[in-house]
Structure 1
Protein backbone atom coordinates (compact mmCIF):
# COMPACT_ATOMS: atom_id res chain seq x y z
CA UNK A 1 0.00 0.00 0.00
CA UNK A 2 2.41 2.61 -1.27
CA UNK A 3 0.63 4.95 -3.67
CA UNK A 4 -1.90 7.75 -3.63
CA UNK A 5 -4.46 7.11 -6.39
CA UNK A 6 -6.38 10.16 -7.62
CA UNK A 7 -9.30 9.31 -9.93
CA UNK A 8 -10.02 11.99 -12.51
CA UNK A 9 -12.61 12.34 -15.24
CA UNK A 10 -13.98 15.17 -17.38
CA UNK A 11 -16.11 16.63 -14.57
CA UNK A 12 -15.64 19.87 -12.66
CA UNK A 13 -14.47 17.81 -9.67
CA UNK A 14 -11.25 16.77 -11.42
CA UNK A 15 -9.39 19.90 -10.32
CA UNK A 16 -10.31 19.31 -6.66
CA UNK A 17 -9.27 15.64 -6.93
CA UNK A 18 -5.88 16.75 -8.31
CA UNK A 19 -5.41 19.25 -5.49
CA UNK A 20 -6.44 16.74 -2.82
CA UNK A 21 -4.23 14.00 -4.29
CA UNK A 22 -1.25 16.34 -4.46
CA UNK A 23 -1.82 17.40 -0.84
CA UNK A 24 -1.94 13.80 0.42
CA UNK A 25 1.10 12.85 -1.68
CA UNK A 26 3.18 15.70 -0.28
CA UNK A 27 2.11 15.14 3.33
CA UNK A 28 2.72 11.37 3.25
CA UNK A 29 5.66 11.45 0.81
CA UNK A 30 4.00 8.75 -1.24
CA UNK A 31 4.00 8.65 -5.05
CA UNK A 32 0.92 10.01 -6.80
CA UNK A 33 -0.93 8.14 -9.54
CA UNK A 34 -3.44 9.98 -11.72
CA UNK A 35 -6.00 7.43 -12.89
CA UNK A 36 -8.58 7.75 -15.65
CA UNK A 37 -11.05 4.89 -16.17
CA UNK A 38 -13.04 4.70 -19.38
CA UNK A 39 -16.19 3.04 -18.08
CA UNK A 40 -17.02 -0.06 -20.11
CA UNK A 41 -20.74 0.41 -19.44
CA UNK A 42 -20.70 3.66 -21.41
CA UNK A 43 -17.91 2.87 -23.85
CA UNK A 44 -17.82 -0.88 -24.58
CA UNK A 45 -14.66 -2.12 -26.23
CA UNK A 46 -16.67 -4.22 -28.63
CA UNK A 47 -20.35 -3.87 -29.50
CA UNK A 48 -22.64 -6.63 -30.75
CA UNK A 49 -25.64 -5.01 -32.44
CA UNK A 50 -26.92 -8.03 -34.31
CA UNK A 51 -29.75 -8.64 -31.84
CA UNK A 52 -31.03 -5.08 -32.26
CA UNK A 53 -31.49 -5.16 -36.04
CA UNK A 54 -34.62 -6.59 -37.62
CA UNK A 55 -34.67 -9.28 -40.27
CA UNK A 56 -33.73 -8.07 -43.70
CA UNK A 57 -31.54 -5.20 -42.52
CA UNK A 58 -28.32 -4.78 -44.38
CA UNK A 59 -24.95 -5.86 -43.07
CA UNK A 60 -23.64 -2.42 -43.94
CA UNK A 61 -25.93 -0.85 -41.34
CA UNK A 62 -24.52 -3.14 -38.66
CA UNK A 63 -21.00 -2.19 -39.65
CA UNK A 64 -21.79 1.53 -39.64
CA UNK A 65 -23.36 1.36 -36.18
CA UNK A 66 -20.43 -0.62 -34.80
CA UNK A 67 -18.03 1.88 -36.37
CA UNK A 68 -19.86 4.75 -34.67
CA UNK A 69 -19.40 3.06 -31.29
CA UNK A 70 -15.71 2.49 -32.00
CA UNK A 71 -15.27 6.15 -32.94
CA UNK A 72 -17.11 7.26 -29.83
CA UNK A 73 -14.89 5.10 -27.61
CA UNK A 74 -11.76 6.34 -29.40
CA UNK A 75 -12.75 9.98 -28.85
CA UNK A 76 -13.51 9.31 -25.18
CA UNK A 77 -10.12 7.63 -24.80
CA UNK A 78 -8.37 10.62 -26.35
CA UNK A 79 -10.35 12.99 -24.12
CA UNK A 80 -9.22 10.97 -21.12
CA UNK A 81 -5.59 11.29 -22.21
CA UNK A 82 -6.02 15.05 -22.49
CA UNK A 83 -7.60 15.14 -19.02
CA UNK A 84 -4.61 13.23 -17.64
CA UNK A 85 -2.20 15.69 -19.26
CA UNK A 86 -4.13 18.62 -17.76
CA UNK A 87 -4.12 16.90 -14.36
CA UNK A 88 -0.36 16.37 -14.55
CA UNK A 89 0.15 20.09 -15.12
CA UNK A 90 -2.11 20.96 -12.18
CA UNK A 91 -0.40 18.67 -9.65
CA UNK A 92 2.99 19.95 -10.85
CA UNK A 93 1.83 23.41 -9.78
CA UNK A 94 1.04 21.85 -6.37
CA UNK A 95 4.59 20.53 -5.97
CA UNK A 96 4.22 16.98 -7.34
CA UNK A 97 6.57 16.98 -10.31
CA UNK A 98 6.41 13.45 -11.69
CA UNK A 99 3.07 11.70 -11.15
CA UNK A 100 2.34 8.38 -12.80
CA UNK A 101 -0.40 8.56 -15.45
CA UNK A 102 -2.61 5.51 -15.76
CA UNK A 103 -5.57 4.84 -18.04
CA UNK A 104 -7.84 1.80 -17.83
CA UNK A 105 -10.79 0.65 -19.92
CA UNK A 106 -13.25 -1.41 -17.93
CA UNK A 107 -15.62 -1.32 -14.99
CA UNK A 108 -14.69 1.47 -12.58
CA UNK A 109 -14.93 -0.46 -9.32
CA UNK A 110 -13.11 -3.48 -10.75
CA UNK A 111 -10.30 -1.26 -12.00
CA UNK A 112 -9.85 0.14 -8.49
CA UNK A 113 -9.95 -3.36 -6.99
CA UNK A 114 -7.08 -4.37 -9.25
CA UNK A 115 -5.00 -1.49 -7.83
CA UNK A 116 -6.12 -1.83 -4.22
CA UNK A 117 -3.12 -3.77 -2.90
CA UNK A 118 -0.81 -0.90 -3.82
CA UNK A 119 -3.17 1.92 -2.78
CA UNK A 120 -2.42 3.89 0.35
CA UNK A 121 -5.17 6.51 -0.10
CA UNK A 122 -7.77 6.66 -2.85
CA UNK A 123 -8.95 10.17 -3.77
CA UNK A 124 -12.37 10.61 -5.39
CA UNK A 125 -14.66 13.49 -6.26
CA UNK A 126 -18.05 13.42 -4.57
CA UNK A 127 -19.70 13.78 -7.97
CA UNK A 128 -18.45 12.57 -11.33
CA UNK A 129 -19.49 13.49 -14.85
CA UNK A 130 -22.98 12.01 -14.49
CA UNK A 131 -23.90 13.99 -11.35
CA UNK A 132 -22.17 17.35 -11.69
CA UNK A 133 -24.35 20.27 -10.75
CA UNK A 134 -26.45 18.23 -8.30
CA UNK A 135 -25.30 19.83 -5.07
CA UNK A 136 -26.52 17.16 -2.64
CA UNK A 137 -26.10 14.07 -4.78
CA UNK A 138 -23.20 11.66 -4.71
CA UNK A 139 -21.77 9.88 -7.73
CA UNK A 140 -23.27 6.57 -8.75
CA UNK A 141 -20.02 4.66 -8.25
CA UNK A 142 -19.05 6.24 -4.94
CA UNK A 143 -21.07 4.10 -2.53
CA UNK A 144 -20.06 0.91 -4.39
CA UNK A 145 -16.39 1.89 -4.15
CA UNK A 146 -16.63 2.61 -0.41
CA UNK A 147 -18.39 -0.69 0.29
CA UNK A 148 -16.06 -2.74 -1.92
CA UNK A 149 -12.58 -1.40 -1.18
CA UNK A 150 -10.78 -1.66 2.15
CA UNK A 151 -8.33 1.19 1.60
CA UNK A 152 -8.58 4.73 2.96
CA UNK A 153 -10.75 6.95 0.77
CA UNK A 154 -10.71 10.73 0.64
CA UNK A 155 -13.85 12.19 -0.94
CA UNK A 156 -13.71 15.83 -1.93
CA UNK A 157 -16.44 18.30 -2.89
CA UNK A 158 -15.93 20.43 -6.03
CA UNK A 159 -13.51 22.72 -4.15
CA UNK A 160 -10.56 21.44 -2.13
CA UNK A 161 -8.58 23.50 0.33
CA UNK A 162 -5.70 22.06 2.34
CA UNK A 163 -7.11 21.71 5.86
CA UNK A 164 -5.76 23.86 8.66
CA UNK A 165 -7.98 22.17 11.29
CA UNK A 166 -9.76 18.79 11.10
CA UNK A 167 -12.66 17.04 12.81
CA UNK A 168 -12.44 13.41 13.89
CA UNK A 169 -15.90 11.92 14.51
CA UNK A 170 -15.08 9.52 17.35
CA UNK A 171 -17.42 7.06 19.04
CA UNK A 172 -14.89 4.74 20.78
CA UNK A 173 -16.10 1.76 18.74
CA UNK A 174 -13.51 -0.82 17.64
CA UNK A 175 -13.51 0.80 14.17
CA UNK A 176 -13.00 4.29 15.62
CA UNK A 177 -10.17 3.07 17.86
CA UNK A 178 -8.45 1.51 14.85
CA UNK A 179 -8.87 4.74 12.89
CA UNK A 180 -7.48 6.67 15.86
CA UNK A 181 -4.39 4.46 15.92
CA UNK A 182 -3.80 4.98 12.19
CA UNK A 183 -4.33 8.74 12.37
CA UNK A 184 -2.07 9.05 15.41
CA UNK A 185 0.85 7.45 13.60
CA UNK A 186 0.31 8.86 10.12
CA UNK A 187 2.20 11.96 8.93
CA UNK A 188 -0.94 13.15 7.15
CA UNK A 189 -2.21 15.29 10.04
CA UNK A 190 0.98 15.94 11.99
CA UNK A 191 1.10 19.61 12.93
CA UNK A 192 -2.61 20.10 12.12
CA UNK A 193 -5.02 20.74 15.04
CA UNK A 194 -7.47 17.86 15.55
CA UNK A 195 -10.91 18.19 17.15
CA UNK A 196 -12.19 14.94 18.64
CA UNK A 197 -15.99 15.02 18.72
CA UNK A 198 -18.06 12.35 20.44
CA UNK A 199 -21.84 12.47 20.13
CA UNK A 200 -23.39 10.62 23.03
CA UNK A 201 -24.55 10.76 26.61
CA UNK A 202 -22.77 13.16 28.94
CA UNK A 203 -20.98 11.26 31.69
CA UNK A 204 -17.67 10.15 33.12
CA UNK A 205 -17.43 7.09 30.88
CA UNK A 206 -17.54 9.01 27.59
CA UNK A 207 -15.36 11.79 28.97
CA UNK A 208 -12.82 9.14 29.96
CA UNK A 209 -12.91 7.58 26.49
CA UNK A 210 -12.32 11.00 24.91
CA UNK A 211 -9.45 11.70 27.28
CA UNK A 212 -7.80 8.38 26.44
CA UNK A 213 -8.14 9.10 22.71
CA UNK A 214 -6.60 12.54 23.17
CA UNK A 215 -3.68 11.09 25.12
CA UNK A 216 -2.97 8.58 22.34
CA UNK A 217 -2.74 11.38 19.79
CA UNK A 218 -0.51 13.47 22.04
CA UNK A 219 1.77 10.48 22.67
CA UNK A 220 2.35 10.26 18.90
CA UNK A 221 3.35 13.91 18.59
CA UNK A 222 0.05 15.71 17.96
CA UNK A 223 0.28 18.85 20.04
CA UNK A 224 -3.11 20.49 19.42
CA UNK A 225 -5.99 18.15 20.26
CA UNK A 226 -9.38 19.46 21.44
CA UNK A 227 -12.16 17.20 22.73
CA UNK A 228 -15.90 17.79 22.77
CA UNK A 229 -18.80 15.64 24.00
CA UNK A 230 -22.18 16.65 22.58
CA UNK A 231 -25.71 15.29 22.39
CA UNK A 232 -28.15 15.37 19.48
CA UNK A 233 -28.80 13.85 16.04
CA UNK A 234 -25.48 12.64 14.65
CA UNK A 235 -25.40 14.32 11.23
CA UNK A 236 -26.91 17.61 12.35
CA UNK A 237 -24.73 17.91 15.46
CA UNK A 238 -21.53 16.94 13.68
CA UNK A 239 -22.03 19.33 10.78
CA UNK A 240 -23.09 22.17 13.08
CA UNK A 241 -19.89 21.73 15.11
CA UNK A 242 -17.80 21.55 11.94
CA UNK A 243 -19.22 24.83 10.71
CA UNK A 244 -19.05 26.54 14.09
CA UNK A 245 -15.35 25.67 14.49
CA UNK A 246 -14.61 26.16 10.77
CA UNK A 247 -13.03 22.70 10.50
CA UNK A 248 -11.91 21.87 6.98
CA UNK A 249 -11.96 18.06 6.86
CA UNK A 250 -13.91 15.27 8.55
CA UNK A 251 -12.34 11.93 9.50
CA UNK A 252 -14.59 8.98 10.26
CA UNK A 253 -15.15 5.26 9.94
CA UNK A 254 -17.36 4.07 7.09
CA UNK A 255 -20.66 2.19 7.12
CA UNK A 256 -20.92 0.80 10.62
CA UNK A 257 -24.27 -0.95 10.12
CA UNK A 258 -25.68 -3.61 7.84
CA UNK A 259 -27.43 -2.73 4.58
CA UNK A 260 -30.74 -3.95 6.07
CA UNK A 261 -30.45 -1.58 9.06
CA UNK A 262 -29.50 1.29 6.76
CA UNK A 263 -32.62 0.65 4.67
CA UNK A 264 -34.74 1.56 7.69
CA UNK A 265 -32.69 4.18 9.56
CA UNK A 266 -30.48 5.66 6.84
CA UNK A 267 -26.71 5.74 6.74
CA UNK A 268 -24.71 8.35 8.63
CA UNK A 269 -21.88 7.90 6.15
CA UNK A 270 -24.02 8.46 3.06
CA UNK A 271 -25.86 11.40 4.62
CA UNK A 272 -22.62 13.11 5.58
CA UNK A 273 -21.19 12.53 2.11
CA UNK A 274 -24.22 14.30 0.67
CA UNK A 275 -24.31 17.19 3.12
CA UNK A 276 -20.73 17.91 4.11
CA UNK A 277 -19.23 21.10 2.65
CA UNK A 278 -15.70 19.81 3.33
CA UNK A 279 -13.74 16.70 2.29
CA UNK A 280 -14.29 13.47 4.22
CA UNK A 281 -11.60 10.88 4.89
CA UNK A 282 -13.24 7.47 5.29
CA UNK A 283 -11.55 4.54 6.98
CA UNK A 284 -12.94 1.00 6.85
Structure 2
Protein backbone atom coordinates (compact mmCIF):
# COMPACT_ATOMS: atom_id res chain seq x y z
CA UNK A 1 0.00 0.00 0.00
CA UNK A 2 1.27 3.45 -0.92
CA UNK A 3 1.38 5.60 2.22
CA UNK A 4 4.50 7.71 1.61
CA UNK A 5 5.81 9.35 -1.57
CA UNK A 6 9.29 10.78 -2.14
CA UNK A 7 9.95 13.24 -4.97
CA UNK A 8 13.48 13.70 -6.32
CA UNK A 9 14.17 17.04 -8.01
CA UNK A 10 17.21 18.73 -9.52
CA UNK A 11 15.85 22.03 -10.81
CA UNK A 12 15.54 20.85 -14.41
CA UNK A 13 12.32 20.85 -16.42
CA UNK A 14 12.05 17.13 -15.72
CA UNK A 15 12.54 17.73 -12.01
CA UNK A 16 9.85 20.41 -11.99
CA UNK A 17 7.44 18.03 -13.76
CA UNK A 18 8.19 15.38 -11.13
CA UNK A 19 7.52 17.88 -8.33
CA UNK A 20 4.11 18.81 -9.74
CA UNK A 21 3.15 15.19 -10.43
CA UNK A 22 4.31 13.95 -7.03
CA UNK A 23 2.50 16.69 -5.13
CA UNK A 24 -0.69 16.15 -7.14
CA UNK A 25 -0.56 12.37 -6.62
CA UNK A 26 0.05 12.68 -2.88
CA UNK A 27 -2.89 15.07 -2.57
CA UNK A 28 -5.24 12.70 -4.42
CA UNK A 29 -4.05 9.63 -2.52
CA UNK A 30 -3.96 11.56 0.79
CA UNK A 31 -0.55 10.21 1.75
CA UNK A 32 2.61 11.64 3.30
CA UNK A 33 5.02 13.47 1.02
CA UNK A 34 8.67 14.48 1.15
CA UNK A 35 11.33 15.60 -1.30
CA UNK A 36 15.07 15.32 -1.87
CA UNK A 37 17.58 17.28 -3.92
CA UNK A 38 21.33 16.72 -4.01
CA UNK A 39 24.38 18.93 -4.47
CA UNK A 40 26.63 16.75 -6.63
CA UNK A 41 30.28 16.56 -5.61
CA UNK A 42 31.22 16.83 -9.28
CA UNK A 43 29.59 20.25 -9.50
CA UNK A 44 31.83 21.83 -6.89
CA UNK A 45 35.06 19.83 -6.66
CA UNK A 46 38.00 21.00 -8.80
CA UNK A 47 38.96 18.98 -11.88
CA UNK A 48 42.56 17.78 -12.36
CA UNK A 49 44.73 20.77 -13.28
CA UNK A 50 46.99 18.68 -15.57
CA UNK A 51 49.95 20.83 -14.59
CA UNK A 52 48.43 23.95 -16.12
CA UNK A 53 48.98 27.40 -14.67
CA UNK A 54 45.44 28.23 -13.56
CA UNK A 55 43.92 30.72 -11.12
CA UNK A 56 42.57 29.33 -7.81
CA UNK A 57 39.52 27.13 -8.30
CA UNK A 58 36.38 28.81 -6.82
CA UNK A 59 35.25 25.73 -4.86
CA UNK A 60 33.86 27.70 -1.91
CA UNK A 61 31.87 30.00 -4.19
CA UNK A 62 30.50 27.11 -6.25
CA UNK A 63 29.58 25.18 -3.12
CA UNK A 64 27.72 28.21 -1.74
CA UNK A 65 25.93 28.74 -5.06
CA UNK A 66 24.73 25.15 -5.47
CA UNK A 67 23.72 24.92 -1.82
CA UNK A 68 21.65 28.11 -2.15
CA UNK A 69 20.12 26.76 -5.36
CA UNK A 70 19.16 23.52 -3.63
CA UNK A 71 17.63 25.43 -0.72
CA UNK A 72 15.58 27.37 -3.26
CA UNK A 73 14.37 24.11 -4.82
CA UNK A 74 13.44 22.80 -1.37
CA UNK A 75 11.42 25.95 -0.65
CA UNK A 76 9.64 25.76 -4.01
CA UNK A 77 8.73 22.13 -3.37
CA UNK A 78 7.30 22.95 0.06
CA UNK A 79 5.29 25.83 -1.43
CA UNK A 80 3.85 23.60 -4.15
CA UNK A 81 2.85 21.01 -1.57
CA UNK A 82 1.29 23.64 0.68
CA UNK A 83 -0.79 24.91 -2.24
CA UNK A 84 -2.32 21.40 -2.43
CA UNK A 85 -2.98 21.32 1.30
CA UNK A 86 0.06 19.18 2.16
CA UNK A 87 2.84 19.97 4.61
CA UNK A 88 6.06 18.58 3.16
CA UNK A 89 9.78 19.17 3.49
CA UNK A 90 12.61 18.61 1.02
CA UNK A 91 16.01 17.40 2.23
CA UNK A 92 19.20 18.80 0.71
CA UNK A 93 21.93 16.16 0.38
CA UNK A 94 25.55 16.21 -0.77
CA UNK A 95 27.45 13.53 -2.69
CA UNK A 96 26.46 11.24 -5.57
CA UNK A 97 22.89 12.08 -6.49
CA UNK A 98 21.85 8.51 -7.30
CA UNK A 99 23.18 7.11 -4.02
CA UNK A 100 21.63 9.86 -1.88
CA UNK A 101 18.23 9.47 -3.61
CA UNK A 102 18.25 5.68 -3.18
CA UNK A 103 19.14 6.04 0.51
CA UNK A 104 16.35 8.53 1.10
CA UNK A 105 13.84 6.41 -0.85
CA UNK A 106 14.18 3.52 1.60
CA UNK A 107 11.78 5.37 3.92
CA UNK A 108 9.05 5.73 1.25
CA UNK A 109 6.78 3.36 -0.64
CA UNK A 110 7.02 5.22 -3.94
CA UNK A 111 9.64 7.42 -5.59
CA UNK A 112 8.64 10.00 -8.20
CA UNK A 113 11.54 11.14 -10.38
CA UNK A 114 11.88 13.04 -13.65
CA UNK A 115 13.30 11.14 -16.60
CA UNK A 116 14.92 14.11 -18.31
CA UNK A 117 17.07 15.65 -15.58
CA UNK A 118 19.99 18.05 -15.76
CA UNK A 119 22.40 15.24 -16.64
CA UNK A 120 20.23 13.34 -19.09
CA UNK A 121 21.68 12.81 -22.55
CA UNK A 122 18.81 14.04 -24.69
CA UNK A 123 19.89 12.06 -27.75
CA UNK A 124 19.68 8.82 -25.77
CA UNK A 125 16.86 9.76 -23.38
CA UNK A 126 17.38 7.90 -20.10
CA UNK A 127 20.68 6.15 -20.82
CA UNK A 128 23.57 7.37 -18.68
CA UNK A 129 21.46 9.66 -16.51
CA UNK A 130 21.08 9.81 -12.74
CA UNK A 131 17.53 8.52 -13.19
CA UNK A 132 18.65 5.29 -14.83
CA UNK A 133 21.16 4.64 -12.06
CA UNK A 134 18.51 5.29 -9.40
CA UNK A 135 15.89 2.94 -10.83
CA UNK A 136 18.46 0.18 -11.35
CA UNK A 137 19.60 0.37 -7.71
CA UNK A 138 16.23 1.02 -6.09
CA UNK A 139 14.33 -1.71 -4.23
CA UNK A 140 11.09 0.31 -4.05
CA UNK A 141 8.50 1.16 -6.69
CA UNK A 142 9.10 4.30 -8.73
CA UNK A 143 7.31 6.51 -11.24
CA UNK A 144 9.53 7.94 -13.97
CA UNK A 145 8.02 11.16 -15.34
CA UNK A 146 8.88 12.52 -18.82
CA UNK A 147 9.14 16.31 -19.02
CA UNK A 148 5.80 18.02 -19.52
CA UNK A 149 3.67 14.93 -18.82
CA UNK A 150 1.00 14.42 -16.16
CA UNK A 151 -0.59 11.49 -14.34
CA UNK A 152 -4.14 12.20 -15.52
CA UNK A 153 -5.77 9.53 -17.67
CA UNK A 154 -6.34 5.76 -17.90
CA UNK A 155 -3.87 3.33 -16.34
CA UNK A 156 -2.25 0.82 -18.70
CA UNK A 157 -1.14 -2.39 -16.97
CA UNK A 158 1.44 -4.51 -18.79
CA UNK A 159 0.90 -8.18 -17.90
CA UNK A 160 3.14 -11.06 -18.98
CA UNK A 161 2.40 -13.59 -16.24
CA UNK A 162 5.62 -12.84 -14.33
CA UNK A 163 5.74 -12.15 -10.60
CA UNK A 164 6.65 -8.54 -11.41
CA UNK A 165 3.52 -8.06 -13.50
CA UNK A 166 1.41 -9.46 -10.65
CA UNK A 167 2.88 -6.83 -8.34
CA UNK A 168 2.06 -4.25 -11.04
CA UNK A 169 -1.55 -5.44 -11.13
CA UNK A 170 -1.85 -4.96 -7.37
CA UNK A 171 -0.46 -1.41 -7.63
CA UNK A 172 -2.86 -0.66 -10.47
CA UNK A 173 -5.86 -1.70 -8.37
CA UNK A 174 -4.87 0.68 -5.59
CA UNK A 175 -4.28 3.57 -7.97
CA UNK A 176 -7.40 2.97 -10.05
CA UNK A 177 -9.69 2.82 -7.02
CA UNK A 178 -8.09 5.87 -5.40
CA UNK A 179 -7.87 8.02 -8.53
CA UNK A 180 -11.06 6.83 -10.25
CA UNK A 181 -9.19 5.98 -13.46
CA UNK A 182 -10.00 3.04 -15.74
CA UNK A 183 -7.51 0.22 -16.28
CA UNK A 184 -6.45 -0.86 -19.74
CA UNK A 185 -4.75 -4.29 -19.67
CA UNK A 186 -2.01 -4.95 -22.22
CA UNK A 187 -0.94 -8.57 -22.82
CA UNK A 188 1.83 -9.50 -25.23
CA UNK A 189 2.25 -13.08 -26.34
CA UNK A 190 3.24 -14.73 -29.59
CA UNK A 191 1.01 -17.66 -28.59
CA UNK A 192 -2.73 -16.97 -28.80
CA UNK A 193 -3.61 -19.66 -26.26
CA UNK A 194 -1.12 -18.28 -23.77
CA UNK A 195 -2.52 -14.77 -24.27
CA UNK A 196 -6.01 -16.05 -23.44
CA UNK A 197 -4.68 -17.69 -20.27
CA UNK A 198 -2.93 -14.49 -19.22
CA UNK A 199 -6.08 -12.45 -19.71
CA UNK A 200 -7.97 -14.92 -17.53
CA UNK A 201 -5.32 -14.65 -14.83
CA UNK A 202 -5.16 -10.86 -14.86
CA UNK A 203 -8.96 -10.57 -14.73
CA UNK A 204 -8.88 -12.54 -11.48
CA UNK A 205 -6.07 -10.37 -10.12
CA UNK A 206 -7.99 -7.20 -10.99
CA UNK A 207 -11.32 -8.41 -9.62
CA UNK A 208 -11.25 -5.68 -6.96
CA UNK A 209 -11.17 -2.81 -9.46
CA UNK A 210 -14.18 -0.52 -9.24
CA UNK A 211 -13.76 0.87 -12.76
CA UNK A 212 -14.44 -1.07 -16.00
CA UNK A 213 -11.53 -2.98 -17.56
CA UNK A 214 -10.40 -2.73 -21.16
CA UNK A 215 -8.10 -5.21 -22.86
CA UNK A 216 -5.52 -5.16 -25.65
CA UNK A 217 -3.29 -7.97 -26.90
CA UNK A 218 -0.34 -7.99 -29.27
CA UNK A 219 1.20 -10.91 -31.14
CA UNK A 220 3.44 -9.05 -33.60
CA UNK A 221 6.33 -6.64 -33.13
CA UNK A 222 8.36 -5.62 -30.10
CA UNK A 223 6.31 -5.63 -26.88
CA UNK A 224 7.88 -2.41 -25.56
CA UNK A 225 6.96 -0.54 -28.75
CA UNK A 226 3.41 -1.94 -28.79
CA UNK A 227 2.92 -1.05 -25.13
CA UNK A 228 4.06 2.55 -25.60
CA UNK A 229 1.92 2.87 -28.75
CA UNK A 230 -1.13 1.62 -26.84
CA UNK A 231 -0.58 4.05 -23.95
CA UNK A 232 -0.08 6.95 -26.35
CA UNK A 233 -3.18 6.13 -28.41
CA UNK A 234 -5.52 6.07 -25.40
CA UNK A 235 -3.83 9.12 -23.79
CA UNK A 236 -2.95 7.15 -20.69
CA UNK A 237 -1.93 8.83 -17.45
CA UNK A 238 0.60 6.13 -16.68
CA UNK A 239 1.92 2.71 -17.61
CA UNK A 240 2.21 0.28 -14.69
CA UNK A 241 4.57 -2.65 -15.20
CA UNK A 242 6.90 -4.90 -13.26
CA UNK A 243 10.47 -3.68 -12.96
CA UNK A 244 11.51 -7.22 -13.87
CA UNK A 245 10.01 -9.37 -16.60
CA UNK A 246 10.15 -13.08 -17.22
CA UNK A 247 13.89 -12.96 -18.05
CA UNK A 248 15.14 -11.30 -14.88
CA UNK A 249 18.30 -13.45 -14.72
CA UNK A 250 19.51 -12.06 -18.04
CA UNK A 251 19.00 -8.42 -17.08
CA UNK A 252 21.06 -6.14 -14.85
CA UNK A 253 18.70 -5.05 -12.07
CA UNK A 254 16.06 -3.84 -14.55
CA UNK A 255 14.13 -5.81 -17.13
CA UNK A 256 14.99 -5.08 -20.76
CA UNK A 257 11.38 -4.33 -21.72
CA UNK A 258 10.94 -2.07 -18.68
CA UNK A 259 14.13 -0.17 -19.50
CA UNK A 260 13.07 0.28 -23.14
CA UNK A 261 9.61 1.52 -22.15
CA UNK A 262 11.03 4.04 -19.68
CA UNK A 263 13.47 5.35 -22.30
CA UNK A 264 10.87 5.94 -25.00
CA UNK A 265 7.47 6.48 -23.39
CA UNK A 266 5.94 9.98 -23.45
CA UNK A 267 3.68 8.67 -20.66
CA UNK A 268 4.83 8.29 -17.02
CA UNK A 269 5.91 4.73 -16.15
CA UNK A 270 5.43 3.12 -12.75
CA UNK A 271 7.97 0.35 -12.19
CA UNK A 272 6.43 -1.93 -9.58
CA UNK A 273 8.58 -3.76 -7.05
> What TM-score do the two structures reach when normalised by structure 1?
0.82
Q: 2:150 aligns to what?
A: 161
Q: 1:249 aligns to what?
A: 238
Matches of 1:260 and 1:217, distance apart in 2: 29
Q: 1:228 aligns to what?
A: 216
Matched residue count: 267
Q: 1:69 aligns to what?
A: 59
* Offset from partner CA, 1:237-256 (integer Å, 9 cap, x none): 11222222222211111243
Matches of 1:48 and 1:170, distance apart in 2: 47
After TM superposition, list the pairs within 5 Å mapping 1:199-278 onto structure 2: 199-218=188-207, 220-232=208-220, 233-256=222-245, 257=247, 267-278=256-267
> How has the CA–CA distance of structure 1 residues 162 and 183 changed in structure 2, closer, same or farther, with 3 Å as cutoff?
closer
Give the SS at the match of 1:97. Answer: coil
Unaligned runs of 5+ in 2: none
Matches of 1:159 and 1:216, distance apart in 2: 32
Matches of 2:31 and 2:15, distance apart in 1: 20
Q: 1:12 aligns to what?
A: 13
Pick aligned residue for 2:95 from 106, 111, 114: 106
Q: Is the 8 A contact 1:167 1:249 kept in 2?
A: yes
**Shift in Å, 1:90:** 2.7
Q: Is the 8 A contact 2:155 2:172 kept in 1?
A: no
**Shift in Å, 1:52:** 5.6
> How has the CA–CA distance of structure 1 residues 76 and 272 changed in structure 2, closer, same or farther, with 3 Å as cutoff?
same
Matches of 2:139 and 2:175, distance apart in 1: 17
Q: Is the 8 A contact 1:109 1:141 kept in 2?
A: yes
Q: Is the 8 A contact 2:238 2:267 kept in 1?
A: yes
Matches of 1:182 and 1:199, distance apart in 2: 20
Unaligned runs of 5+ in 1: none
Matches of 2:93 and 2:43, distance apart in 1: 13
Matches of 2:158 and 2:104, distance apart in 1: 28
CA radius of gyration, larger in: 1
> How has the CA–CA distance of structure 1 residues 268 and 69 changed in structure 2, closer, same or farther, with 3 Å as cutoff?
same
Matches of 1:83 and 1:117, distance apart in 2: 22
Pick aligned residue for 1:141 from 112, 127, 130: 130
**Shift in Å, 1:3:** 2.5
**Shift in Å, 1:16:** 0.8
Report the RMSD for the aligned CA atoms in angstroms. Answer: 2.8
Give the SS at the match of 1:88. Answer: helix
Q: Is the 8 A contact 2:114 2:147 kept in 1?
A: yes
> How has the CA–CA distance of structure 1 residues 159 and 91 changed in structure 2, closer, same or farther, with 3 Å as cutoff?
farther
**Shift in Å, 1:31:** 1.3
> How has the CA–CA distance of structure 1 residues 24 and 135 changed in structure 2, closer, same or farther, with 3 Å as cutoff?
farther
> What TM-score do the two structures reach when normalised by structure 2?
0.85
Matches of 1:83 and 1:11, distance apart in 2: 10
Q: 2:165 aligns to what?
A: 176
Give the SS at the match of 2:43. Answer: coil
Q: 1:89 aligns to what?
A: 79
